[in-house]
Amino acid sequence: MKKIFYAAIGALSLITVACGHPDTYRVEGEIAEKPTMNLRVVSYGDEGTTQAVTAAREGKFGFESKAADARMVEIYDNDYRLLARFMATNGDDISLEVPRSNPYQVRAKGNELSARWSKFLNDNEAALTENANKVVAAYVGEHREDALSTLLLLTEYDASGEAGSAAADSLAALIAPEARLGSISAGLMAQLEHLNSAASREPVKAIPYFTTDRKTATLRPGGAKLNLLAITADGTGHKEVADELRKIARHTAPGKLKLYDLSTAQDTLVWRRSIRPDSATWTQGWVGGGISSSALGRLAVPEVPYFIVTDSAGRQIWRGASAEEARSFIVSKL
């Protein structure tokens, strides 16, 4: 699920020279705009989540890897923008036609499920762009024994917010066990269970973090009518998030509103580099270990950026993935 699917990253071995093919799958692809650039390959399956780097030269790329059981594979550019998705098992020869700016129009061949997946996205781009949740819910309801239902729920459904995660949980329960793609679905189910747990909605308590001047501090909601906890990361979209936080920060005042921006960037060096242009007037900090860390894990944050509004006692009164919607909620309460 595009909003909640997270797992530990391991090492994916991309094999450039191999003698046998029954024990590997091969991928050949071409990016329409013919760029020369690095590509990031992320793979999900029974052996966990793994990643590696390969390259496209004048748009053409290829690699070989292992998938003893069915794996979902994603290809990103160097800025973590999604280029393509497909399924793979050992013995597959995957062929990809990739328009760099539109993953909905990727054409995939090499196995029946990948071909149907790409065709569904090709044919339903407009509807998915307008209301992906409606499209996915309709497909799952009519195709409970189809593994494509699992893939669409996993990658296209927006499960942010309480209503979204509850609806996703209901849809996941409809899918037949034989269509759940093993550990890929198991991770989805575990995340949904965590998102919908009562513990994830308990009051926000102490959250330790590192400050911009390399000290340690602790976030404890209180002393203000409203507190906004923005959980962010470096990379694509950071400027847009910072711009929204700047608008929200205009409403900060003693006893009225406090704004905390906690980054889950890879490390403090990456974090400091990413926030240098922000000119922030709000509290910025860094939390090690990402959204699954001991500091943030109990909040069941499904993605970054993500926003939680609390009252003066730390009780969660709004959650969501949109900074603009968070700002609207805050303004309505002040």
| pLDDT value for 240 | 82
| pLDDT value for 78 | 83
The answer to whether residue 18 scores a pLDDT higher than 60 is: no
Beta strand residue intervals within 32-131, DSSP E = 37-45, 48-56, 60-65, 71-77, 82-88, 93-98, 107-109
> Mean pLDDT across the stretch 15-25?
64
CB 221 within 8 A of CB 204: yes
Residues 6+ away with beta carbon under 8 Å from 200:
194, 298, 299, 300
Question: What is the Cα–Cα distance from 328 to 259, expressed in whole angstroms?
Answer: 14
Tokens of 307: 């926003």
Q: What is the pTM of this model?
A: 0.64
Among candidates 261, 264, 206, 202, which has minimal Cα distance to 228?
261
Q: Which helix (H) or strand (E) holds 30?
A: strand 25-31
| pLDDT value for 3 | 46
| pLDDT value for 168 | 81
Among candidates 318, 296, 329, 320, which has minimal Cα distance to 158?
320
| pLDDT value for 199 | 62
Among candidates 301, 305, 295, which has minimal Cα distance to 326?
305
Question: What is the Cα–Cα distance from 156 to 132, expressed in whole angstroms?
Answer: 6
Residue 279's pLDDT band, with cuts at 50, 70 and 90, is: confident
pLDDT tens, position by position, 49-103? 788 899 999 999 999 998 888 899 999 998 778 999 999 999 999 999 999 889 9
